[in-house]
Amino acid sequence: MTDQGTLGFESARAEAERLREELHHHAHSYYVEARPEISDTEYDRLFKSLLELEKNHPELCSLDSPTQRVGAEPQSKFKTVAHTAPLLSLDSTQDVDELRRFDDRIRKALGEGHEPTYIIEPKLDGASIELIYEDGVLTRAVTRGNGREGEQITDNIRTISSVPLRLRTEDRVAPELLSVRGEVIMYISEFQAFNARLVEAGGEPYASPRNSAAGSVRQLDSHVTASRKLDLLVYDILAIEGSGFKSDTDGIEAIRHWGFKVPDRIQTGRTVEDILEYHTGFATDREGLDYEIDGIVIKLDDLSARSAIGVTSHHPRWALAFKFEPRQEVTRIDKIEVNVGRTGVITPVAVLDPVVVGGVTVSRASLHNREELRRKDLREGDTVRIQRAGDVIPQVVEVIAHEKDRARPFEMPTECPVCSTPVQEEGPRIKCPNRFGCSAQLQGRIIHLASRSALDIEGLGEETAALLVTEGLVSSLAELFDISPEQLVEYEGFAEKSAASLVEAIQSK
């Protein structure tokens, strides 16, 4: 091994460049191509050599160095920035007739004698982001946000090993500016293991791999993102300086060439029958995949024709998402109970015999309100078909069998099951009006406040919220911010360190 401390500056610069090139090559071979050429031990040796060299010569450390994937200081908040080009949604359907109408519109737009060629690819179910490279170096990564602007999460995206920090150009000049769109995903096997670790630590599990991926890339501390096994698949060029591409096929090949991982099984088709064959194949294989897809995407291949056909404010007219039917399974309603939410609405809930639906164990499903309960005639002991709407939210679809001596129809309570206040009727819903005296509503408000869509308070899940309310430590949301570690350590599950961490997480918001 070269003694990094004795190298002159020019020799050190040459050695740093050599090590960076070698490490980039081996990272691509391992994380993108899944064909490692050296052992982990040898990779670690090269990495430590570069780390030592950059320590001795800090001026040699660059944005595209493999040593810069992890190490950024935690942020207080994310900066909102504009996208290079809009990240539009896709028009979508599950209807074959609508697919045929889409094809008809494309053929009409192209004109007589011009047959369309479509790019057909899986519709990944993850977190959509934009990556921007300047002179071949990753300079910015932005969440989709509202499609026009999003949050800058560059430090977090750097931690994903399959993301090239520098484009592979093989001695050719890198584009002065390149913007690509991709999907951050968490594989199902990792999602299940990750959720198990969260639950074991007393945390709130994520609802789906998509939510987990989206939450992971929005961590203010990039070390947290780095600890979660994420991947990035790139499928679109949003903007490029000096592009001579005539088709999406050319663009996808360029994306591969630059070192990005792309979705599996991208292919071309010319007819609706080609699309349906692809859709059927992926729908059949879906259960064996280790990543979530919720359909396929059909895009016109010809880029000049795309420009002519145009876009709406919401979606491109030259593309369509053809969704899969929701995953369904059969299980049994063990019992029906009610839940009092943070706004006082009392919701019937089916407690189910646990069943795995699309890689997620489902044991409860909302029955929404008393009218929905009556309309579907759901009763305890019934065998029912369930699905995850949007592959996320559990729903009871229908009764498919019931016992001969069937249970009586479930009756909604006339008073709140938690505080015994008489309920009020609001259309199909019933509600507990005791806003400030009902502990269930307070608990719900705490859970909502701590959720990822609100303050995102690490460590404050359902169990802890229940403890705070039932033990009288908190009687209002304002009191939540007055909790001390000394109060928490009195209770099982809280040591000094965990109590201090929770209080710090609350008071930092």
User: Which residues neighbour 443 within 8 Å (Cβ) at sequence distance 6 or greater?
Assistant: 342, 465, 466, 469
Tell me: the pLDDT tens digits for 290-347?
Answer: 998 989 999 999 999 999 999 998 899 999 999 988 888 999 999 999 999 999 999 9
Q: Which CATH architecture has domain 87-318?
A: 2-Layer Sandwich (3.30)
pLDDT value, residue 1: 47
Cα 191 from chain centroid? Answer: 11
93 or 360: which leads in pLDDT: 93
pLDDT value, residue 499: 85
- pTM of this structure: 0.74
pLDDT value, residue 459: 78
Instruction: Given the residues 123, 261, 299, 323, select the one marked as catalytic.
Output: 123
Tell me: the pLDDT tens digits for 1-57?
Answer: 455 555 677 888 888 888 888 887 877 777 777 677 777 788 878 888 888 887 888
Q: Give the mean pLDDT of the chain.
A: 88
Known catalytic residue at 108: no
pLDDT value, residue 391: 62
What value does the mean pLDDT take over residues 202-213?
82
**Residues facing residue 128 across a β-bridge:** 183
pLDDT value, residue 5: 52
Tell me: the pLDDT tens digits for 264-293?
Answer: 999 999 999 999 999 999 988 888 899 989
Equal CATH topology for 4-68 and 87-318: no
Q: Which CATH number fits domain 328-417: 3.40.800.10, 2.40.50.140, 3.90.79.10, 1.20.1440.130?
A: 2.40.50.140
First vs last C-alpha separation in the chain = 48
- Tell me the backbone φ, ψ of residue 351, rounded to 5 degrees: -90, 120
pLDDT value, residue 9: 75
Dihedral through CA 200, CA 206, CA 207, CA 213, nearest 10?
-140
pLDDT value, residue 497: 81
Lowest mean pLDDT among 31-35, 302-306, 369-373, 402-406: 31-35
pLDDT value, residue 390: 66
Say whether domain 439-507 belongs to CATH 1.10.150.20.
yes
Q: What is the DSSP letter of 60?
A: G
What value does the mean pLDDT take over residues 443-472?
85
pLDDT value, residue 28: 76
- Residue 297 near residue 122, CB atoms below 8 Å: yes
User: Which residues neighbour 491 within 8 Å (Cβ) at sequence distance 6 or greater?
Assistant: 467, 471
Distance CA 236, CA 130 (A): 10
Task: Using only the alpha carbons of the chain, give its radius of gyration.
Answer: 27
pLDDT of 233 over the 50 cut: yes
**Residues facing residue 127 across a β-bridge:** 184
Q: What is the DSSP letter of 394?
A: E
pLDDT of 392 over the 80 cut: no
- Residue 435 near residue 344, CB atoms below 8 Å: yes
Q: What residue ranges in 199-342 does DSSP mark as E strands?
A: 231-240, 267-269, 293-300, 319-323, 328-340
- Confidence grade of residue 221 (pLDDT, cut at 50, 70, 90): confident
Q: How many residues does the chain have?
A: 509
Residue extents of the structural domains in the chain: 4-68, 87-318, 328-417, 439-507
- Confidence grade of residue 461 (pLDDT, cut at 50, 70, 90): confident
H helical segments located in 82-204: 96-110, 154-158, 188-200
What strands lie across the sheet with 267-269, from one edge to the other? 92-93, 319-323, 293-300, 118-124, 267-269
Percentage of the chain with pLDDT > 70? 95
What value does the mean pLDDT take over residues 78-98?
92
Q: Which helix (H) or strand (E) holds 504?
A: helix 496-507
What value does the mean pLDDT take over residues 92-107?
95
Fold for 4-68, please state it: Helix Hairpins (1.10.287)
